[in-house]
């Protein structure tokens, strides 16, 4: 369990602050993560990597000369927001474009794709590489659906070395894709991990058992076995990886980089015992091990587990893998680096957002928006443990924690905006940005999108009307379904949002007040959330183990129904006050 923390919601920010304070020779703090504190070669491609916090040395520990130019660092087990990725990319750009690198998880894909689109609109050449090395997460025929684990390191290292060597964007992308294609990983776990402030682990493994193929966020594996000996585990891991050799490679005589990764509680001495047999098995298969890596490279807090990665080399890949690098958590060879000056070190820091003018009526509406967000915060705080329990049935169990972080950040941003005289639309927009930034993950992206859609609809020029609110909710439904690609029946929050929006729109168009229309729609939302128990998930991390969630409602659908009801209660209270 995690023992040393202050306020759990502040853990990631305080962790980054301490990381920068102790590693200032390599990194500087920028809004959304970290960037190099040394001067990069102008006119080279910038590699910006990122993902959730909780996996150190990934991702901040891989920023430095010969490796990444910046890292977008999300909250604990929640992907960085699009704004965070954008900020780090802008701070890292050397003038020849930005390559975004991340593990293939739904939240990361959503946020990094949003950031990529924004950077492209500004004329910055931006491409992406999603690492897909985990063979347990999808069959070979669906490699694009696989998640990224310790193989992140091989892809990032090769892409970064290509950038340092002056490769064009096209060639950096090509070599990164080749490295991804040549990387395979397989992992196991013995216990789950416990996040700061949590009373229970995010996930558990039965005593005396080993989860085979479990993901680094606790995604269920492909099965369980009794805990083997170190030699037996080595034989299992090597056999699994040698059963899936990249196309065009002959095992006998091939050169590979073996990476034996500890996930947090399996320590170096144990890893060395395990690697002893791994090395023997690779040699017996006719493989030549090049530059083996044994240690903690992609962790998961205190998770007890390990993974083995094989990176199959060709001449160019080997040259780039062995090129010099100097980052906090990965160093080899000698590099020449020049530190940034004092002014450059502060570039990319957070700046306060200007508040646009608003009418008195809109500012009064902003106060009601804040009350609604406060109600959402209260109901999420009261149900955070239950939301996590529901999510853990087939997912990774962090939905409650993510929702809690997001709604708290939204309330803080909204309260600050109200004090500064913001209108209802601006309050919703800033709350949406804060929710997406602090929650991260898929739900963070979608809730941020929803609040901004309503904010754009109500604006700052008049009191929010029922028609404007309904139109904003309808736009939220449209944009979320378009961007997230979920539809009704996929067992997601869309199963609540779509019928809620349709009912709200119909009631408002029929002449109902916002209070009455919202109340009728809230009933539909609650019924729809309960009905998701009968569905099988077709999207997100729960999809590979869909049958486990049958009989349990979707956590995202439940949290949306809870918030919808809580907001209706504030509308009722306001009506009572106005008629008293």
Residue 209 contacts residue 225 (beta carbons within 8 Å): yes
Residue 352 CB coordination number (10 Å): 7
Residue 400 contacts residue 388 (beta carbons within 8 Å): yes
In angstroms, the CA 515 to CA 578 distance is 13
Residue 125 contacts residue 97 (beta carbons within 8 Å): yes
Q: What's the token pair of residue 538?
A: 């077709």
Note if the bond before 59 is cis, omega within 30 degrees.
yes
DSSP assignment of 434-492 equals HHHHHH-HHHHHHHHHHHHHHHHHH-SSSPPPHHHHHHHHHHHHHHHHHHH---TTSSS
Counting DSSP H helices and E strands in the chain, the numbers are: 17, 15
In angstroms, the CA 142 to CA 336 distance is 42
Residue 122 CB coordination number (10 Å): 9
Residues serving a catalytic function are: 217
Query: What b-and-e string marks burial along 394-416, b requiring 16 or more CB atoms within 10 Å of the CB?
Result: bbbbbbbbbbbbbbbbbbbbbeb
First to last CA, the chain: 52
- Using only the alpha carbons of the chain, give its radius of gyration: 24
In angstroms, the CA 345 to CA 538 distance is 45
Q: What is residue 412's DSSP assignment?
A: H
Residue 440 contacts residue 80 (beta carbons within 8 Å): yes
Residue 485 contacts residue 540 (beta carbons within 8 Å): no
In sequence order, the β-bridge partners of residue 326 are: 65, 331
Q: What's the token pair of residue 150?
A: 């310790």
3-class secondary structure for 154-222? HHHHHHHHHHHCCCCHHHHHHHHHHHHHCEEEEEEEEECCCCCCCCCCCCCCCCCEEEECCCCCCCCCC
Name 233's Cβ contacts closer than 8 Å, sequence gap at least 6.
Answer: 188, 210, 274, 306
CA distances from 278 to 51, 181, 281, 307, 438 (A): 29, 22, 5, 12, 40
């Amino acid at each position: 369990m995690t023992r040393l923390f202050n306020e759990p919601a502040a853990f990631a920010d305080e962790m980054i602050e301490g990381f920068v304070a102790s590693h200032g020779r390599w990194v500087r703090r920028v809004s959304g993560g970290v960037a190099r504190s040394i001067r990069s070669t102008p006119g080279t491609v910038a590699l910006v990597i990122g993902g959730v916090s909780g996996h150190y040395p990934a991702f901040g520990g891989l920023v430095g000369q010969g490796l990444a130019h910046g890292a977008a660092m999300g909250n604990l087990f929640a992907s960085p927001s699009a704004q965070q990725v954008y900020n780090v990319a802008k701070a890292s750009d050397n003038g020849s474009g930005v390559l975004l690198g991340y593990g293939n998880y739904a939240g990361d894909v959503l946020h990094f794709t949003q950031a990529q689109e924004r950077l492209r609109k500004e004329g910055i050449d931006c491409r992406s590489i999603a690492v897909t090395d985990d063979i347990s997460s999808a069959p070979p025929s669906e490699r694009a659906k696989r998640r990224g684990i310790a193989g992140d390191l091989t892809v990032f290292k090769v892409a970064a070395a290509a950038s340092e060597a002056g490769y064009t964007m096209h060639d950096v992308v090509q070599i990164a894709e080749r490295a991804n294609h040549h990387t395979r990983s397989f992992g196991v776990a013995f216990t789950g991990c416990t996040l700061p402030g949590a009373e229970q682990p995010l996930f558990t493994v039965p005593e005396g058992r080993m989860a085979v193929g479990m993901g680094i966020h606790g995604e269920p594996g492909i099965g369980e076995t009794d805990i083997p000996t170190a030699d037996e585990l080595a034989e299992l891991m090597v056999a699994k990886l040698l059963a899936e050799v990249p196309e065009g490679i002959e095992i006998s005589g091939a050169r590979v980089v073996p990476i034996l990764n500890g996930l947090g509680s399996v320590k170096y001495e144990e890893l060395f015992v395990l690697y002893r047999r791994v090395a023997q098995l690779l040699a017996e298969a006719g493989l030549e091990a090049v530059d083996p890596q044994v240690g903690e490279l992609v962790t998961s807090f205190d998770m007890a587990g390990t993974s083995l990665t094989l990176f199959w080399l060709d001449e160019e890949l080997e040259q780039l893998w062995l090129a010099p690098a100097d980052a906090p958590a990965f160093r080899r060879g000698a590099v020449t680096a020049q530190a940034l000056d004092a002014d450059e070190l502060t570039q990319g820091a957070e700046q306060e957002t200007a508040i646009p003018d608003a009418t008195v009526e809109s500012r009064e509406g902003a106060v009601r928006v804040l009350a609604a967000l406060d109600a959402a915060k209260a109901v999420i705080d009261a149900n955070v443990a239950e939301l996590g329990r529901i999510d853990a049935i087939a997912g990774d169990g962090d939905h409650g924690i993510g929702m809690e972080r997001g709604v708290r950040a939204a309330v803080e941003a909204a309260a600050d905006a109200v004090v500064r005289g913001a209108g209802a639309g601006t309050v919703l927009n800033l709350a949406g940005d804060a929710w997406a930034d602090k929650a991260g993950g898929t739900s963070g992206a979608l809730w941020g999108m929803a609040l901004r859609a309503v904010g754009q609809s109500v604006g700052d020029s008049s009191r929010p009307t029922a028609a404007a609110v309904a139109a904003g909710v309808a736009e939220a439904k449209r944009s979320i379904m378009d961007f997230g690609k979920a539809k009704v029946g996929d067992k997601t929050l869309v199963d609540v949002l779509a019928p809620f929006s349709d009912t709200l729109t119909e009631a408002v168009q029929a002449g109902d007040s916002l209070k009455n229309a919202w109340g009728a729609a809230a009933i539909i939302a609650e019924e729809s959330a309960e009905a998701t128990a009968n569905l099988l998930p077709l999207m997100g991390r729960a999809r590979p183990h869909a049958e486990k969630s049958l009989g349990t409602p979707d956590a995202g659908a439940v949290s949306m129904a809870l918030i919808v009801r809580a907001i209706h209660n504030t509308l009722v209270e306001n009506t009572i006050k106005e008629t008293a």
